[in-house]
């Protein structure tokens, strides 16, 4: 029992070539050693468990090796390498800055730096979690880090680069370690399993790699835990049960039910997922990820973005053939809405079920639009429904007719003539056999073209009645009365300050005194246009505004000024005011 060593330590890399997923960094360090261009201080930064400290130790071991191999690796035979492997090297000094973060700890380290190494060429100082040092400790370290003795090299490691002061960063050669890829972790776990004599399914190892979030150490810890659970055998179903992961099989089934608009199956599947102890929020996030993966799988060029096993990639590719982009994009939006609203919802289960129903209806509507059952055409001045099969039959008949006889053939058949004269899509039997797989770009283009066709306006139906400037001004007064009835008195007053002008092409120019009035008109422009177009029976009418920059002193702004202007037009208003006893300075 006491001899057991966890896999993260047992299979810790001891050479540059054994480091997983950091090829660019290991190549750079090897070249620096080969050309004797080592910096005096290094900073290794990145997430946990990706090989920062391991690379620091390998670098420390290699630079002091007496017989470096042609591949720039330590020989493991010289005195320096043997002492390092036995954790008895006097040349390598490791300091945990999390527990030794005071200024006194750094001063003791600085005092040791001046001593030359007993064996080898360099004294290597590895400071792990260096961001934990206090500000005073950093400042005490600055001078030594900038101008260390020739025999001293510093390797700093941290998971939080942003916490290190800029003066330290500027004195180091910085290496940013990346998260280890899922395939790299999966391959390494396969190597460990083979070394330990463990039978492991590839999909199970891939799932562990996904769960570890790019950390090789975390994946090895999960691996050890699962081996203890499964006793020398690692299968996919066991990993699913032990790690409490929602199986992707559920998402494939849910997507199939969504495409079929099978609401009963959807509700039963979601109920089964809840009964298995999974949270609805976890499910909806997983569904959005699944739909995203289907979107990525639609195009072979983006299939590489799918970090799954080869078998699973093929399943995603197959299902993507049945999912159009016009279904996936709205479905992803609805999943995102549900994700945002989940925490605030009182009835969380109902929220998820409603989201599933809405997504399902998108797929159903899309299928109906893609497969029309009939076309409406006019035959002998009478509207009739013609089935798709009938149109295809007529279309095929026309295609087979020679060009010289096609016109007479069409004219001789009234049904063919009426159908061919309409803008009915030509139906080709061979086109039905084409693959439904489209590139993402082509699918977007197809959606946009479809939208343009739907929004196309029949110009022949637009009204185009002519009218004079006088008739326009009469209608303008009715516009003012109309907007005031709508409760927009300020807008009515603004419309009545200046008279509009009628220009060519039915363009009405409205003079205004300031830009605030322009904004007011723009907000209600379409309401005014609709009234005018209906009143004057002309759909080509447009309204534009212009700001008058002349004398604005005569323009009434306050209620008092407006009343004075009204008295000028009708003096009897003053008599009425006096009889009612109203205050002139209201």
Report if residue 2 sits inside a domain. Answer: no
Pick from 389, 421, 453: which residue ends a domain? Answer: 421
The reply to whether 167 and 302 lie within a common domain is no
- Residue 261 per-residue DSSP state: T
Answer for the pair 524, 483: CB distance below 8 angstroms, yes or no: yes
Of the three residues 243, 266, 283, the one that is the final residue of a domain is: 243
Domain holding 232: CATH number? Answer: 1.10.8.60
569 Cβ contact partners less than 8 Å away, ≥ 6 residues apart? none
pLDDT at 423 over 50: no
Residue whose entry in the numeric block shows the structure tokens 């209608």? 475
Instruction: Verify that 203 and 107 share a domain, yes or no.
Output: no
For residue 302, name the pLDDT band (cuts at 50, 70, 90).
Answer: confident
Q: Running DSSP on this structure, what letter comes out for residue 464?
A: B
| Percentage of the chain lying above the pLDDT 70 cut | 80
Could you tell me which residues are beta bridge partners of residue 232? none
Q: What is the CATH number of the domain that holds 121?
A: 3.40.50.300
What does the alpha-carbon distance between residue 22 and residue 168 come to, in Å, rounded to a whole number? 24
Is residue 254 assigned to a domain?
yes
**How would residue 463 be classed by pLDDT, with cut points 50, 70 and 90?**
confident
Task: Count other C-beta atoms under 10 Å from residue 332's C-beta.
Answer: 18
Phi-psi region of 510 (alpha: psi -120 to 50; beta: other; left: phi over 0): beta
> Domain for residue 39, yes or no?
yes
CB atoms near residue 272 (< 10 Å)? 12
302 lies in some domain: yes
- Both 48 and 144 in one domain: the answer is yes
Together in a domain, 143 and 20: yes
**Largest distance between two CA atoms of the chain:** 119
Q: What is the mean pLDDT of residues 300-306?
A: 79
At 99-127, the pLDDT tens digits run: 888 888 888 888 888 888 877 788 899 99
> Residue 385 sits in which domain range?
372-421
Dihedral sign, CA of 293, 298, 302, 308? positive
Residues 120 and 187 in one domain: no
Distance separating alpha carbons of residues 337 and 327, to the nearest angstrom:
16
Per-residue confidence band for 391, with pLDDT thresholds at 50, 70 and 90: low
Instruction: Assess if residue 574 is contained within a domain.
Output: no
543 and 400 in a common domain = no
Tens of pLDDT along 241-260?
Answer: 787 778 788 899 999 999 88
* 501-502 and 199-200 beta bridge pairing: unpaired
Q: CA 92, 98, 104 angle in degrees (round to 5)?
A: 75
SS3 assignment, position 156? strand
- Asked, for residue 228, whether it belongs to a domain, the answer is yes
Same domain, 530 and 492: yes
CA distance 267 to 354: 10
Instruction: Report d(CA 65, CA 168) in Å as an integer.
Output: 29
379 has pLDDT over 80: no
CB 546 within 8 A of CB 508: no
Domain count along the chain: 5
Residue keyed to tokens 């993402």: 440
- Residue 1 resides in a domain: no
Q: How far is CA 556 from the centre of its chain?
A: 54
Check whether residue 284 and residue 343 sit in a common domain. Answer: yes
Closest CA to 479 of 494, 461, 462: 494
């Amino acid at each position: 029992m006491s001899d057991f060593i966890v896999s993260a330590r047992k299979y810790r890399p001891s050479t540059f070539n054994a480091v997983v997923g950091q090829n660019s960094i290991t190549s750079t360090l090897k070249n620096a050693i080969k050309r004797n261009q080592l910096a005096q201080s290094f900073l290794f930064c990145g997430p946990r468990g990706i090989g920062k400290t391991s690379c620091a130790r390998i670098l420390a071991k290699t630079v002091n090796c007496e017989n470096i191999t042609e591949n720039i690796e330590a020989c493991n035979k010289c005195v320096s390498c043997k002492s390092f492997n036995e954790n008895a090297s006097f040349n390598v000094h490791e300091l945990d800055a999390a527990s030794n973060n005071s200024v006194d700890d750094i001063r003791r380290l600085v005092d040791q730096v001046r001593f030359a190494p007993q064996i080898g060429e360099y004294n290597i100082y590895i400071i792990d979690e260096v961001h934990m040092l206090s500000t005073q400790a950093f400042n005490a370290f600055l001078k030594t880090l900038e101008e260390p003795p020739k025999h001293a090299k510093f390797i700093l490691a941290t998971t939080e680069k942003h916490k290190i002061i800029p003066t330290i960063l500027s004195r180091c050669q910085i290496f940013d370690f990346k998260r280890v890829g899922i395939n790299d972790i999966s391959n390494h776990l396969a190597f460990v399993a083979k070394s330990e004599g463990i039978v492991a399914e590839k999909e199970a190892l891939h799932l562990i790699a996904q769960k570890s979030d790019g950390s090789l150490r975390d994946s090895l810890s999960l691996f050890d835990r699962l081996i203890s659970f499964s006793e020398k055998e690692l299968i996919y179903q066991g990993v699913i049960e032990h790690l409490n992961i929602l199986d992707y099989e559920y998402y494939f089934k849910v997507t199939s039910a969504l495409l079929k608009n099978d609401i009963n199956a959807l509700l039963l599947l979601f109920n089964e997922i809840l009964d298995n102890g999974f949270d609805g929020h976890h499910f909806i996030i997983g569904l959005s990820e699944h739909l995203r993966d289907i979107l990525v799988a639609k195009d072979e060029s983006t299939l590489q973005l799918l970090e799954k096993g080869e078998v699973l990639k093929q399943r995603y590719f197959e299902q993507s053939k049945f999912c159009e982009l016009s279904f996936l994009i709205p479905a992803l939006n609805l999943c995102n809405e549900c994700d945002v609203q989940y925490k605030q919802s009182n009835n969380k289960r109902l929220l998820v079920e409603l989201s599933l129903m809405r997504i399902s209806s998108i797929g159903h509507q899309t299928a109906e639009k893609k497969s029309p059952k009939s076309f409406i055409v006019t035959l002998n001045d009478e509207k009739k429904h013609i089935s798709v099969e009938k149109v295809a039959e007529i279309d095929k008949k026309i295609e087979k007719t020679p060009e010289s006889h096609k016109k007479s053939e069409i004219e001789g058949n009234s049904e063919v003539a009426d159908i061919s004269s309409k803008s009915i899509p030509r139906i080709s039997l061979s086109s039905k056999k084409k693959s439904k797989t489209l590139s993402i770009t082509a699918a977007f283009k197809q959606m946009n073209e479809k939208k343009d066709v739907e929004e196309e306006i029949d110009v022949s139906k637009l009204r185009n009645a002519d009218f004079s400037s006088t008739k326009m001004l009469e209608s303008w007064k009715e516009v003012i009365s109309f907007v005031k009835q709508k409760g927009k008195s300020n807008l009515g007053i603004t419309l009545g300050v200046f008279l509009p002008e009628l220009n060519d092409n039915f363009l009405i120019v409205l003079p205004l005194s300031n830009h605030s009035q322009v904004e007011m008109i723009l907000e209600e422009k379409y309401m005014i246009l609709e009234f005018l177009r209906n009143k004057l029976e002309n759909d080509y009418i447009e309204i534009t505004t212009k700001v008058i920059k002349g004398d604005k002193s005569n323009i009434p702004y306050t209620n008092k000024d407006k009343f004075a202007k009204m008295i000028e037009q009708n003096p009897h208003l003053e008599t009425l005011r006096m009889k009612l006893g109203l205050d002139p300075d209201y």
